[in-house]
Chain A
Amino acid sequence: MAEGPSDAELVRRVRDADGAALSQLYQRFVRPCYSLARRICVDEGLAEDVVQEVFLTLWRDPTRFDPARGGFATWLLTVTHHRAVDAVRKENAIRRRVVAVPEAGEDWSPTPVPGADQAALARVAAGQVRAALHRLPVAQRQVLALAYFGGQTQSEIAVQTGVPLGTVKSRMFTAVQRLRALLTDQLGPDTLVAEARKMRGEQ
């Protein structure tokens, strides 16, 4: 469990240009942010650039985080995801060759990363999310994977999979809807991210 000021309190202090607060938020979130960026970008250097940009964004304009819309972890991971996808799109020709379309029963995990933490709690939480993913129909899981981890747009997914764009949109919508329901059942009544972070021992 993390001790000390809440995420929201630290963000408030960042608004007052408190560098120590930024440092605390960095310590708290750099690993999940980097892990996500690493998963999407594959390239370590690119992932580090993404993380640097994310924390610089937080520092320059902390008011972008709106507590009324959701938790700080959700916001920061969303920013990380979007920045990582933007980075990947700049190098899309290289990236698309290494994104595999997940098939039924296939593990979503990439090749194990050297130095990756094998903490049991993190594995359990990640395992639960992956288990929920595998309960989705393959077609829904596929569009979600290509969008979220592959950084592809709905139009690009339609072209790649040979499925009409309207179908891609509805599959993505339904996939998120079903996954949210499954995760809520598995992780508990609190917000999904808070529960997932608790299980990883981060909060």
Chain B
Amino acid sequence: MNDLRRGAACPHRELAVGWALHALEPAGDSLVAAHMPDCSICTSTAAETEEVGATLGLSVPDAIPNAELEQRVLRVTAAKWEAPVVALAPSTSPPRHITSRFWLRAGGWLRPRR
């Protein structure tokens, strides 16, 4: 029997349901997020609630996105994927072929995201 049905004892399990449904205020959200790793009851409750939520999500009327959306998504992800692979990340100084000014302006953009 799952944790929701057996009413397992943890004072935060009601909050865990609200957390999984993204229905808590920030303070409650932080509390549950900090509590979750130490509580198998709330972790299980949240997982079961997310599954119920996803099932609700599948019950909505089917809607078709604009065909352009796929290109948008692939364009954005490809930009990250094809970022120049230059060994910059651990260094605090720019490679010799990049000016300091450009280095500072570029911030993290030159660093591969993946």
Contacts and interface: CB of A to CB of B under 8 A. Distances in A.
Interface of A: 17, 19, 22-23, 26, 30-32, 34-36, 38-39, 44, 47-48, 51-52, 55-56, 59-60, 69-71, 73-75, 77-78, 80-82, 85-86, 108-110, 112-113, 115-119, 122, 125-126, 129-130, 133, 144, 147-149, 151-155, 157, 169-170, 172-173, 176-177, 179-181, 183, 187, 191-193, 196-197, 200
B2 A180 contact: yes
Interface residues of B: mostly helix, strand, loop or mixed? helix
- Interface size class on chain B is 35 or more
Contacts of A153: 18, 23-25
Interface residues of A: mostly helix, strand, loop or mixed? helix
B60 A126 contact: yes
Nearest to B18: A154
Contact of A177 (B4, B21, B66, B81): B4
Given A70-B51, A148-B53, A173 B14 contact: yes
B38 interface: no
Contacts of B107: none
A173 B17 contact: yes
B99 to A, nearest CB: 29
Contact of B14 (A113, A148, A170): A170
Closest 7 CB pairs of A and B: A129-B59, A117-B62, A77-B54, A147-B23, A39-B60, A34-B65, A36-B57
A35 B73 CA distance: 16
Contacts of B9: none
B45 to A, nearest CB: 9
Interface string B5-44: 1000000011101101111110010000000000000010
Contact of A169 (B18, B61, B62): B18
